[in-house]
Amino acid sequence: MATQQTGAVTLGRPRSAGPWRAISNFVTRKPLGAFGALIIIIMGLMAVVGPYMTAWDPLEWNLASKLEWPSGEHWLGTDEMGRDLWSRMMSGARISLLVGFASVAFGSGAGGVIGVISGWYGGKVDNSIQRIMDALMSIPTLILAMAITAALSTSLTNIIIAIGIVQIPRANRVVRSQVLAVKESQYVDAARSIGAGNLRIMTLHIAPQCVAPWLIISTGALGIAILTEASLSFLGLGVPQPEPSWGGMLTGPVRDWFILYPYLAIWPGLALSLAVYGFNLFGDAIRDVLDPRLRGT
């Protein structure tokens, strides 16, 4: 497109909106989604810099200070072992968010790849894969995660694997349905006509069209993953003690003190609720922005 210059004014191709303009538009159009993103950012800062903002070791016992209510010295109080709850909350954020993001990256990533393969090849390949997905989806999420964790033993890596496996069927179904809708498009036929192989078509022409629905399902799965990790920890199948996690702070001997010292349950419970709430708000906003059927609503 040719440009015309008149004095200092240049008429031509408009500049694309920068990232700050995009963020501003998102905040204006989706304030609840922006609030959810703010919660996620705060949680991330807690995980990264929080442990350095306290002088207390989250693993150090101090029986002389056990079960102290919140004070200037211990901002959130201490637990039954005298450990500072503020430092344990900060370290617990690191564990909970790590499990959430890593398990969703593994589960949704694997489910997306399997979904592309299943939808593209169809036939016996599709039928075989989908029957496995049906079997996984027939088992309740928490029960399946408990069974996998119990079989693999409790460790941070095994918990990530267990929760990731639970996430595979949902991502698989969403991506597969998108592949079935896209693979009959004219540009796919054109790629076939010039001799493009299956791998090239799947990676360059099919997979990019599945990014939006995959991102939507992955964002929504983050809250579920964090809640599943907390449930496993509450049942004694989570991150091994004494490593702090928000779910682990609600289990063990702590449960005997909840009535007399309710703050022991309030802080980790509030953190879990806010994390799930933030991811759900942000996930809904991402869905509204990326789904063409909802962009005008």
98-117 pLDDT, tens per residue? 988 999 999 999 999 999 99
What residues contact residue 68 under an 8 Å CB cut-off, 6+ apart? 74, 77, 78, 82
pLDDT at residue 296, rounded to an integer: 53
pLDDT at residue 105, rounded to an integer: 93
Amino acid occupying residue 231: S
What residues contact residue 232 under an 8 Å CB cut-off, 6+ apart? 142, 145, 146, 149, 159, 162, 163, 238, 247
pTM beyond 0.85: no
Residue 8 reports pLDDT greater than 70: no
Phi, psi of 5 (to 5 degrees): -110, 130
pLDDT at residue 291, rounded to an integer: 66
212-263 pLDDT, tens per residue? 888 888 888 888 898 888 888 888 787 777 778 888 887 766 667 777 888 8
Residue 94 reports pLDDT greater than 70: yes
Least confident of 17-31, 81-95, 129-143, 152-166: 17-31
- Give the chain's largest Cα–Cα span: 79
Q: Which residues share a beta bridge with 10?
A: 5
Q: How confident is the model at residue 192 (pLDDT cuts 50, 70, 90)?
A: confident
Q: How confident is the model at residue 151 (pLDDT cuts 50, 70, 90)?
A: confident
Greatest mean pLDDT range, 4-8, 130-134, 145-149: 130-134
Q: How confident is the model at residue 58 (pLDDT cuts 50, 70, 90)?
A: confident
